[in-house]
Chain A
Amino acid sequence: MTAIETAELALRRSRALMVAALALLAAVYVRALAFTPVEATQGPAQKIFYVHVPSAWVAFLAFGVVGVCSVLYLIFKEPRLDRIAAASAEVGVVFTTGVLLTGPIWAKPIWGAWWTWDARLSSTLFLWFLYFAYLVLRTAVREQGQRARYSAVLGILGALLVPFIHLSVKMFRTLHPQPVVMNPEGPTLPGSMLATLLFSLAVMTLLYTGLVWHRYAQAERDEARADSAADDAR
């Protein structure tokens, strides 16, 4: 099979995976809304937690993938690794934006404020800035090899930064005790809530995988098309 055909097969397969994941996501919503008990103190608004928390997990996972691919790229100089990193960053920023949007939607009815500088949300905000820097850098460099190198360097430094941001945010917050609020991640999460959460986590990860694969396959196909156009021109 030619490179273009391989890429288009990957596109079809990943599209199928995405559709399956989206269907499962719908199932998650149904389960969360209809089949999971309503949380006592927060009421129905708490249910957004089943989308919010797994999205955050995936958002950070996606940057982890960027970091690993960045290290591998600098060692092996394989352009595919760069494409995976780029795909993961593009999908990751979407998930991160999702977290930052669902956070306020939950916070407003519960805490009466759109934004709270709680630890997770603050870290996620800086993650968003990191993604933004990564993606903007990629658009600002024209030459492929240079773009891959620069992105890889930023990806590695960014991945190193994330734990420092977590720590800083945590230490900062212990200075400012928050009002006692029902913490959805309390030590005991009733069985069915935990099950819904884990189900959602698995589906989100699946969705992430599908999206990254799809984006990657798109990049491969574009690359294959450009190569064959260059060959034809010769």
Chain B
Amino acid sequence: MGEVLRHALAIAGKDLRLEFRSRTAFLSALVFTALVLAIFQFARDPTAVSAVDLAPGILWITFCFAGLLGLNRAFALERENRALDGLLLSPASRTALYLGKVLANLVFVGLVEAIALPLFAIFFNVPVLGVLGPLVAVIALATIGFVAVGTLMSSISVSTRFAELMLPVLMLPFLMPPITAAVQMTARIFAGRPFSETIGWLKLLVAYDVAFLVVCILVFEHTIEE
């Protein structure tokens, strides 16, 4: 168990070092996120609906886009020089490989979200600071589910034709439950509703995260070994 974690951390560390050295993917994801947020501002009728009503949806759709951009890199980076073979040759277990990629993706997507959130608060004048704790918890939970499934899907999509198009097609049905839960919980958090109203969604989100993490770990080896 300890070895799995050690290997996963080594792999995640390697991924993050490569990622932040080149910075292209990260900066692109950031700029893209800012762009999406900006476009949303003009993609609505300001007289018809208040920003606060639409805000949770806007926030989560933005996170989705950013996340999808980030997920593709994880296994694309192993294609150069067939580095994936190097990883498979090593004593690192397939679970360690999966967890390492998930960790790296969590950091990547998490950082984009961390920068997008204040931007969102500023653009849409949403008071985020007062509810920061619960909000961050919801973001973390939904992101875990999203990244767990997305990492697995990207290991499949990376070796198909039209990989960049395949990933969203594969991913989007799987995003429905966590995004629905996240938006509902976010809306209630912004509206200052009592916690009891969100318990159902919280349970759904946690159940989703656990179920999919476990199943993804179990099936991952079939996506990379012949």
A interface with B by C-beta (< 8 Å)? 74, 126, 129-130, 132-133, 136-137, 140-141, 145-146, 149-150, 152-154, 156-158, 160-161, 164-165, 167-168, 171-172, 175
Contacts and interface: CB of A to CB of B under 8 A. Distances in A.
Contacts of B152: 153, 157
B222 A132 contact: no
B204 A133 contact: no
Contact of B173 (A130, A141, A149): A130
B29 to A, nearest CB: 23
26 contacts: A126-B173, A130-B173, A133-B172, A136-B169, A140-B160, A140-B161, A140-B166, A145-B226, A150-B156, A152-B222, A153-B222, A154-B170, A156-B215, A157-B149, A157-B215, A157-B219, A158-B173, A161-B174, A164-B177, A164-B207, A164-B208, A167-B177, A168-B176, A171-B184, A171-B201, A175-B184
Contacts of B173: 126, 129-130, 133, 158, 161, 165
A168 B204 CA distance: 8
Interface residues of B, number: 31
A129 B175 CA distance: 12
Contact of B156 (A137, A165, A172, A175): A137
A126 B175 CA distance: 11
Interface of B is mostly: helix
A126 B176 contact: yes
Contacts of A133: 169-170, 172-173
Contacts of B174: 157, 161
Contacts of B211: 160, 164
Contacts of A161: 173-174, 177
Interface in B163-217: 166, 169-170, 172-174, 176-177, 180-181, 184, 200-201, 204, 207-208, 211-212, 215-216
B72 to A, nearest CB: 15
Nearest to A167: B204
B170 A164 contact: no
Interface of B: 149, 152, 156, 159-162, 166, 169-170, 172-174, 176-177, 180-181, 184, 200-201, 204, 207-208, 211-212, 215-216, 219, 222-223, 226
Chain B CB within 10 A, most for which of A129, A160, A165? A160
B219 A164 contact: no
Contact of A156 (B201, B208, B219): B219
Nearest to B181: A168
Contacts of B208: 164
Given A153-B152, A157-B152, A165 B222 contact: no
Nearest to B161: A140
Chain B CB within 10 A, most for which of A129, A150, A154, A157? A157
A145 B169 CA distance: 22
